[in-house]
Structure formats: C-alpha cells, structure tokens
Chains A and B, each alone.
Chain A
Amino acid sequence: MTMNDNARERQELEELLPWHAAGTLSRGEAKRVVDALARDPELARHYDLVREEMIETIHVNEALRAPSARTMDELFRKIDAEPARRSMPRLNLAARFGEFMASLTPRTLAYASGAAVLALLLQAAVITGVVINERGGGYQTASAPATAPVEGSYAMIRFAPQASAGDITRFLESNKLSVVSGPAAGGLYRVRVAVTGIPKGELARVVKQLQQDKTIDFIAAVE
C-alpha cells in the first residue's frame, strides 16, 4: 500500500467515525472502523471527540421543547377540510403483506408455512406427472380408461406447527405416504397410506404407529 493509499484509507475511516458512533454503519464498515481504532491511537482519540459531539448534539436537540397541542389540532382541522378520500389501491404490496402476516398468530403461521410447503410438493408432483404423461410413459390401448380407479387406504393428517419442510418431506418419504388433497379446514391433508385397500385393523395399527412421529399433530384413518 502506497502512502497515498494509506492517506485515503485514513481519510475514509475518519469520515465514517460519526456513523460508527451513531451505530448506523453496515456490519462490514463497522468492523473496518473497529479494527482501525484498535491499531490507530490517534484515530481512537478522534473517535472520542466524535462521541463528545454526539452527546452534546443530542443534548441540544432534547433541550428543545415539544410542539404544542395546537399542532395536532391544526393538522386534523386541515385533514377535515380535505375532500373526502376515495379508497385508492395501495402501491406498497410489501406493507400489505407485512400487515397480513403480522395479523397471524405464530401457530397460524406455522400451519400456513406447512400448507405452503405441501402445496409446493403437490405442485411438483402434478408437474412431474404431467411431464411424464406428455412424454408418453408407455403404451395405452384406445379402449383403456384414462385413469385407474382410485384405490388404497387413506388417513387425514395435520402436521405439527413446529415441523419444518424437511421434517415433512422426510416423514412422507420414510413412510411411503403421498398427499392426495388438502389442506382442508383445520389444516388437514388427505394422505394415501397404502396403494391397496388394507383391513381396518391393519390400517388402525399403521395410523397408531404414524401418530408417534413428532411431525404429526393429528392423524385418523378415513374411508
């Protein structure tokens, strides 16, 4: 590094000191200043001056009185005099989304995120199915039915709020389950437990076993 580079670097650091004192630098810039302060006692002395200035600037501003109640009265008098406002579409979609999310409880959010994950999985499954069908998965006679009759054994499942997308995927894969539909009211999904119909007793045993998994909040066998 040349002397010019050093001087420029030093000037840049000196200029950043006020924002470092106010805590408004990015993490990277703040680290740069902290490192420089540790190795440069003169810069550290200047930083003390900056902090002194900051304290007194805050004092100067805080010593100013607050505006009188007249200010608010005046504002609402002016607002009342404004023409009636027709509700305009808001541009700020991010704020609307934030408002919606803020209105949800953590538990609702957990269910919603689980539902979103499953919706994605279902979408992927549908797309995969469409692609396979379009590419001609095999020979079909003209008289063969387009879809095979729906067979198998089913259960209704609600996933635990704390279950992550990874947990749900692992649970479905390891138990060879597939989501058929949902979410329905209460965050319930219909999953296929077996590709063929199995006796009720056997289905109840499987469901009881699945109930032990921490990914599951609720499960019940269905017709």
Chain B
Amino acid sequence: MQTASDEVLIGRIADGERLAMQVLFARHHVRVYRFVLRLVRNEAVAEDLVSDVFLDVWRQAGKFEGRSAASTWILSIARFKALSALRRKGEQELDEATAETIVDEADDPQATMEKKDKSEILRKTIASLSAEHREIIDLVYYHEKSVEEVAQIVGIPEATVKTRMFYARKRLGELLKAQGVDRGWP
C-alpha cells in the first residue's frame, strides 16, 4: 500500500482538501503538541497552539515549496507560535535559577541517590533545563532534526546550533553533578 508523502498532502491541502489536512494532522499533531508543551508548559495553551499551527499550515500550504521536510516547516511554525504566546501572556519561563531551586529542595546528594535512580534524576534534570536548552535537546534527540534543520527551525546559524547543543549538554552535566550524579563530564 502506498501512503502519500507529506509534500503531496500539503499540495492537496493547498487545493483545499480537508481529508489531506486530517491525515497530515494525524501524522504530526502529537509531536507538535509535545514540542510546544515543553516550551509553554501549559497543556491548555499547548492544545490551542496546535490547532493554530495547523490552521497556519492550512492557510500557507500553497506557499510551501518543499525545500525542507514538512515536519521541519511545521515545527518552525509551532516554535514561532509558542514564543509569541509566551510573549503575549507575559508568562515567565521556568529558568535555570528556578530549576536549581527545585534541585536544592531535594535531600542531600547521597539521600537523593538512595531514593531515585540515575535515570529518574536525568529525566528530571532534562525537564528542568532552560527553554533554550530544552528546545535544542528535544529537537536533536526526540524530533531527530539534523544540524541544518535545527538551524532552520530556530533561525540560527548551523555553527551556533552545534555550540548551543554542546553547552546545553554541558549545563545538563553541571546540574546533574549538583545533584550528586557525577558523570565525569564536564
């Protein structure tokens, strides 16, 4: 059985085909939702944003030229919408200082290690990174975006993508060390 590519679906959406829109939505909405949820940290806001993102896809489909993967294009729209929503609502991001406060609330490192395994600490620490670092780590590890694609989505040069990812990982290591998980790097 053949399935239509995203590019073909977007072509049909440009012609006003609702069924193609439903198929594209079914394919991508969960990842788009998770991407924006990790940025805005509010489920209701994230759901509103997802419908806004796909409404933009509906409106802009005729302008999609297929120079990048459809998922990259959709994530670019999602990122723009999420940042606009954050600015509009004046919501303060949970920055690293806040994240470190959460960490400090925990028991001493030894006690922490006794209670939780390393994976759990790592997950919690990944979730508590700054928005900028969370975003790039998600795009690379979860959304499987190449250096070039991350550069397109975030709107920064490819060299900056690499260094930002490096510093996100470095920061993750430092936060882990602060919780008693010394991985020997950085």
Give A residues with C-beta under 8 Å from B.
14-16, 18-19, 21-25, 45-46, 49-50, 52-54, 56-61, 63-68, 70-72, 74-76, 78-79, 82, 85, 87-88, 90-92, 94-96, 98-99, 102
Contacts and interface: CB of A to CB of B under 8 A. Distances in A.
Interface string B1-39: 010110110110011101001100100011001100110
B167 to A, nearest CB: 10
Q: Which 4 A-B pairs have the closest CB atoms?
A: A57-B141, A75-B51, A95-B7, A24-B146
Contacts of B163: 15
B63 A82 contact: no
Interface-central residue, A95, A96, A99, by most chain B CB under 10 Å? A95
Contacts of A96: 11
Contact of A24 (B10, B50, B145): B145
A102 B18 contact: no
A50 B140 CA distance: 11
A168 to B, nearest CB: 28
Contacts of A94: 7, 66
B126 A95 contact: no
Interface-central residue, A90, A91, A94, by most chain B CB under 10 Å? A90
B78 interface: no
Contacts of A15: 162-163, 165-166
Interface string B130-160: 0000000110111011110100000000000
Contacts of B64: 91-92
Given A21-B141, A78-B55, A95 B34 contact: no
Contacts of B146: 19, 24-25
A54 B148 CA distance: 19
A46 B173 CA distance: 11
Contacts of B22: 72
A173 to B, nearest CB: 37
